[in-house]
Amino acid sequence: MQPAQLLEQLLERLHRGDSRSVARAISLVEDQTELGPAIMQGLDQQRLDTALTVGITGPPGAGKSTLTSALVHHLREQGLRVGIIAVDPSSSLTQGALLGDRIRMMDHALDRDVVVRSMATRGRLGGVCASAGAAMRIMAASGCRIILIETVGIGQSEMDIASLADITLLVLAPGFGDDIQAMKAGILEVVDLLVINKADMPGSRKLLLDLGRETANSDRVLETVASERQGTETLLERILAFETELRQEEEFKQRRQRSLNKETVDWSIELIRARLTDLVDNEFLTGLDQDPRAAAEQVLSDVLRNSLTFQR
């Protein structure tokens, strides 16, 4: 089959909501194939505009996966198609995700209107790989009204999600000092809603009061017991209400633009990484004895001077 026919067929099935086509499209983009750009250009723009992306971040042990599963349950009760991107740690050998979506989202494994994808961080501290944004848009084009992005959860360095999602939740749990770490990292300033999960545990009331004071807005702080789906429906209502508020303001478009800008930088780094590795290993530094920063300056100088192109 010719590439043009393959692309047309893939996009047609993707827009019909075929899960296999969604997975294949994401892989073609993530692997930086020739069809990748054409796939992204062929997506239904109206669906991209109406979809909402929700980032779910926070430290390990806070219950992010359980909360994500509970939100999906409520969204499916409303008849909405949902996408889930689970950003996992990378294998140092293959750069693939170490944690599988089948393990984390088994409750929804047989639901054709829940599209799940595990993606690797590829070693980036921010916890979000360059192709996560593309995966979000592909899911949206397949009819997903809400796309949930659950990040790996590595504490203070996990900030990228706030610049990728339309709305970002920070999930904390009482008794682990998470509030202190969040305040130190400045995370409270960039997330939209704070979720105290495992709110049936001792210390939840104190955490609620502390976060309310720190944010100067107690309406941003909600309590849930995701394992029992307590408070999770109220959380979803708050998310959708906040979406309505954002869409009535210029802020929503500004967030989308910032997200696209961030993805552009991420893709630039992703595309250039392999080429730079080849240059360093094979062309520039053979037999040279110098410090890495000086070597890097030489590499970049030669790249700019010679106008080298970076191949996929």
pLDDT of residue 178: 54
Q: Tokens standing for 97?
A: 């995700």
Amino acid 101: pLDDT: 41
Q: Are 55 and 161 in contact (CB under 8 A)?
A: yes
Helix (H, G, I), strand (E, B) or coil at 19: helix
Residue 139: name the closest of 120, 111, 119, 115 by CA.
Answer: 115
> What does the pLDDT look like over 155-206, one tens digit per residue?
444 567 777 899 999 999 988 665 555 555 567 778 899 999 999 999 888 8
Q: Which helix (H) or strand (E) holds 205?
A: helix 204-215
Q: What is the pLDDT of residues 59-71, one digit of tens each?
A: 888 899 999 999 9
What digits encode the pLDDT tens for the residues 104-151?
555 676 789 999 998 876 555 444 666 889 999 999 999 999 999 988
* Residues 267-305: tens digit of each pLDDT: 887 777 777 777 777 766 555 556 777 778 877 777 777
Sheet with strand 167-172: strands edge to edge: 114-120, 82-88, 146-150, 52-57, 167-172, 193-196, 221-223
- Beta-sheet strands, E only, within 202-269: 221-223
Q: How far apart are the first and last CA of the chain?
A: 23
Mean pLDDT of the region 245-274: 86
- Whole-structure pTM value: 0.84
What is the tens place of the pLDDT at every residue in 12-59? Answer: 999 999 999 999 999 999 888 989 999 999 999 999 999 999 999 888
- Dihedrals φ, ψ of 230, to 5°? -90, 125
- Write phi, then psi, for 161 (nearest 5 degrees): -60, -30
Tell me what pLDDT residue 87 has: 82
**CATH class of domain segment(s) 43-248:** alpha beta
Residue 222 β-bridge partners: 195
Of the candidates 144, 168, 182, which has an alpha carbon nearest to the alpha carbon of residue 220?
Answer: 168
CA dist 55 and 158 (Å) reads: 11
Question: How do the domains of the chain map onto residue ranges?
Answer: 1-42, 43-248, 258-306
Can you tell me whether residue 30 is helix, strand or coil? Answer: helix
Q: Per the structure block, which two tokens stand in for 20?
A: 């296999």
